[in-house]
Amino acid sequence: MSGGVVVGGWEYVWMAYGLTSLAFLIYGVTLITRIREERLRASMDGNRE
Amino acid sequence: MEIPSVATSRTPYVFLAIGVLCLLAGSYAGLAVAPAEQYMGNVQRIMYVHVPTAWNWMLAILFSFGSAIVFLFKNDLKWDNRLEGGLEVGTLLAFLLCCQGAIWAKPTWGVWWDWDPRLTTTAVLLFASLGILALRKFVEDPVKRAIWSSVATIIASIDLPIVYYSVKWWNSLHQQQSSPSTVSSQFHLPLRLNAFGVLFLMIGFIMIRTRIAAYRMQHELAAPPLAIGEEAGELA
């Protein structure tokens, strides 16, 4: 901070953007994994019937 | 109660793709094109992810609230699946919102966290959402689970207008809401692009998460296969 103005701060900007992208990416991957598992289980349930 | 069917279209993946494209364009505009703010400098660029996350988190909670109401009126379990989808994605957005806010607070307020009304009420809703998701894990009966989590979601959603109006009701550390009408026109493009980006991503995530919930419910409600002994008994 210099004279009421924030100086620099790019590290905080990258931290916020990095965390957001990483969270969306990890959540997206877990969703794809989970839906594949559920589809497989549903097809196995169908075969059993 | 009828077992909800599972949709199989590619629509959620189209939403995800559009969301990623909007976020890439919005982030480029926010990081490389838009000017730094007069007082906050480059740190203000966090607004382009923080504010869209906040708007869409509120939409996700509203969607869960609406799903809870419709479930209680119609007794249709597909609305419980939608509630689960909205609530989980809303919890992710609330967690991100708190983290982004903390990252923005450090260089501007000098602290990572403050028990300011806006931050506190947001954290309350985050923990309430986590609690409802935990409740759903512990209740085995799908109908009881749907009723209890609908009621809990409606009660938790009372906090949403308090979050929204907290900056107006209490003169606290958190600034008033940022929107295209309250910020410079030079900041509009990245803000709008990222808002639509998070919106499309959120819709895609909720649709996929709802399908996962529907598959699980189909498995839970399907009749259990006959045991070998029972089958042999019937034949004899």
pLDDT bracket for residue B225 (50, 70, 90): low
Q: Which of A5, A17, A28 sits opposite B49 (nearest CB)?
A: A17
Cα-based distances in Å from B14 to A41, B22, B234: 25, 12, 50
For residue A32, name the pLDDT band (cuts at 50, 70, 90). Answer: very high
Q: Is the pLDDT reported for residue B179 higher than 90?
A: no
Task: Please count the other Cβ atoms lying within 10 Å of the Cβ belonging to residue B114.
Answer: 17
Rounded distance, CA B219 to CA B40, Å? 53
Which pLDDT value is given to residue B130? 97
pTM (predicted TM-score): 0.90
- Residue-level pLDDT at B175: 77
For chain B, the C-alpha Rg in angstroms (whole number) is 21
Tokens of B199: 């919106």
Query: Quick one: pLDDT band at residue B223, thresholds 50, 70, 90?
Result: low
Confidence of residue B236 (pLDDT cuts 50, 70, 90): very low
Domain membership flag for residue B145? yes
> Could you tell me which residues come within 8 angstroms of residue B203 by beta carbon, excluding any fewer than 6 positions away?
B12, B15, B19
In 3-state terms, what secondary structure has residue B116? coil
Q: Which residue stretches of chain B are H helix? A: 11-28, 47-74, 77-109, 117-138, 142-157, 159-169, 188-221, 228-235
Q: What are phi and psi of B43, to 5 degrees?
A: -60, -30
CB pairs under 8 A between A and B: 87
Q: Which residues of A touch B (CB under 8 A)?
A: 1, 4-10, 12-13, 15-17, 19-20, 23-24, 27-28, 31-32, 34-35, 38-39, 41-42, 45, 48-49
Q: Is residue B1 part of a domain?
A: no
Check residues B170 and A13 and name the one with the higher pLDDT: A13
Question: Would the ipTM clear 0.85, i.e. be above it?
Answer: yes
- Is residue B101, in this structure, part of any structural domain at all? yes
- C-alpha distance from B150 to closest chain A C-alpha (Å): 23
In a domain, B167, yes or no: yes
* pLDDT tens sequence across B81-113: 999 999 999 999 999 999 999 999 999 989 999
Report how far residue B162's alpha carbon sits from residue B160's, in angstroms, rounded to the nearest whole number: 5
Instruction: Find chain B residues with C-beta within 8 A of A23's C-beta.
Output: 92, 95-96
CB B214 within 8 A of CB B32: no
Our measurement of the distance from residue B143's CA atom to the centroid of its chain's CA atoms, rounded to an integer in Å, reads: 23
The SS3 of residue B41 is strand
Whether residue B12 contacts residue B201, with contact meaning beta carbons closer than 8 Å, is answered with no
Residues 6+ apart with CB under 8 A from A27: B92, B205
Nearest Cα of chain A lies from the Cα of B126 at a distance, in angstroms, of: 16
Residue B230 scores a pLDDT above 60:
no
Q: What is the pLDDT of residues B118-151, one digit of tens each?
A: 999 999 999 999 999 999 999 989 999 999 999 9
Q: Which amino acid is at B50?
A: H
| B141 located within any domain | yes
Number of domains in chain B: 1
Contacts A48 to B, Cβ<8 Å: 225
In which band, very low, low, confident or very high, does the pLDDT at B221 lie, cut at 50, 70 and 90?
confident
Range(s) of the domain holding residue B166: 11-235
Substitution target from A17, A22, A41 for chain B, most B beta carbons within 10 A: A17
Report, as an integer, the average pLDDT of B178-191: 80
Question: Mean pLDDT, chain A, as a whole number?
Answer: 88
Residue B96 sits at the chain A interface (C-beta within 8 Å)? yes
Q: Three-state DSSP class for A2?
A: strand
Whether A42 has a pLDDT exceeding 90, the answer reads no
Is the Cβ pair A19, B41 closer than 8 Å? no
The span from the CA of B82 to the CA of B217, in Å, is: 12
Is residue B66 situated within a structural domain?
A: yes
Residue A40 confidence (pLDDT)? 92
Q: How far is A23 from chain B (nearest CA, A)?
A: 8
- C-alpha gyration radius of chain A: 22
Q: What confidence score (pLDDT) does residue B124 get?
A: 96
Each residue of B10-66: pLDDT tens digit? 999 999 999 999 999 999 999 998 888 888 888 999 999 999 999 999 999 999 999
List of chain A residues whose C-beta atoms are within 8 Å of the C-beta of residue B46: 12-13, 16
Which DSSP state fits A4? Answer: T
Is there a contact between B132 and B87 (Cβ–Cβ < 8 Å)?
A: yes
- DSSP secondary structure letter of residue B32: I
Q: Which two tokens stand for residue B137?
A: 């894990």
At residue B216, φ and ψ (nearest 5 deg) are -65, -40
